[in-house]
């Protein structure tokens, strides 16, 4: 990897599910540790950065980052946009692949696809979208990362002071497509036709059912992808109703 770096957004201070990053998820490992284990299996450790806040509660996350030999940056708790800008500047990342640490089912094949395409493009922002035009970062799937340039983030900062756009790093970009050079890839139809998949963790219910799913899949195939997860869910339809209910309760 050259200009692009993987920046993982994580902190322990979730209001709905405190400490979700470090609660045992698979055996004794937490979500954050598992994401680092999976990412470092395909990405050079020097190209991975944890972006967390200066809150001392996040010391545990930087300790885990050190264990895996990846970089870390500590910045603003609430101004996540500024945290990303500062982290990118610190590690000379002109291009960023943004990973949310509360997505334990992140698909590494799609991540590599995104990385390869973004490295050779001049787009400000690149990610995936559903057939109805919704960016996947605004969905509940939890399979995909997103790519953005440092210059685009700096442009967002110069264009808005709204808390919403400083807390949610890329929202302003796809809300204002005429101001940025954006490219979206369509997600596979076999996934797109499901509106009852929620594999991002915000609540205790999310955590409990996804822990159960992850343990069953990971034991059999540690290098799983989104299609493996979909196949499992199609064979175990009891999870769909729970996920659908959580989607309705936790609108994005």
CB-count burial class (<10 Å; 0-12, 13-18, 19+) for 24: exposed
Q: Which is more confident, 23 or 1?
A: 23
In tens, the pLDDT along 109-123 reads 999 999 999 999 999
- CATH level 2 (architecture), domain 4-249: Alpha-Beta Complex (3.90)
CB 143 within 8 A of CB 106: yes
Instruction: Kindly report the pTM of this predicted structure.
Output: 0.96
pLDDT of residue 112: 97
pLDDT, tens digit (0-9, with 9 covering 90-100), for 52-95? 999 999 999 999 999 999 999 999 999 999 999 999 999 999 99
Per-residue confidence band for 212, with pLDDT thresholds at 50, 70 and 90: very high
């Amino acid at each position: 990897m050259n200009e692009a770096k993987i920046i993982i957004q994580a902190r322990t201070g979730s209001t709905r599910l405190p400490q979700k990053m470090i609660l045992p998820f698979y055996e004794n490992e937490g979500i954050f540790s598992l994401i680092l284990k999976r990412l470092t299996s395909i990405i050079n450790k020097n190209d991975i950065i944890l972006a967390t806040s200066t809150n001392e509660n996040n010391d545990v996350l930087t300790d885990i980052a050190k264990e895996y030999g990846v970089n870390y940056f500590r910045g603003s708790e609430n101004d996540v946009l500024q945290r990303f800008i500062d982290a990118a500047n610190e590690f000379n990342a002109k291009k960023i692949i943004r990973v949310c640490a509360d997505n334990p089912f992140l698909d590494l094949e799609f991540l590599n696809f995104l990385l390869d395409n973004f490295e050779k493009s001049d787009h400000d922002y690149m990610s995936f979208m559903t057939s109805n035009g919704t960016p996947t970062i605004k969905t509940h799937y939890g399979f995909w990362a997103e790519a953005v340039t440092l210059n685009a983030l700096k442009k967002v900062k110069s264009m808005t002071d709204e808390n919403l756009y400083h807390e949610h790093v890329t929202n302003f970009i796809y809300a204002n497509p005429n101001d940025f050079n954006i490219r979206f890839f369509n997600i596979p139809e076999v996934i797109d036709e499901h509106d009852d998949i929620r594999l991002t963790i915000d609540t205790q219910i999310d955590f409990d059912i996804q822990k159960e799913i992850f343990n069953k899949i990971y034991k059999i195939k540690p290098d799983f992808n989104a299609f493996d997860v979909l196949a499992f869910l199609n064979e175990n339809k009891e999870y769909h109703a729970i996920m659908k209910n959580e989607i309705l309760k936790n609108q994005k």
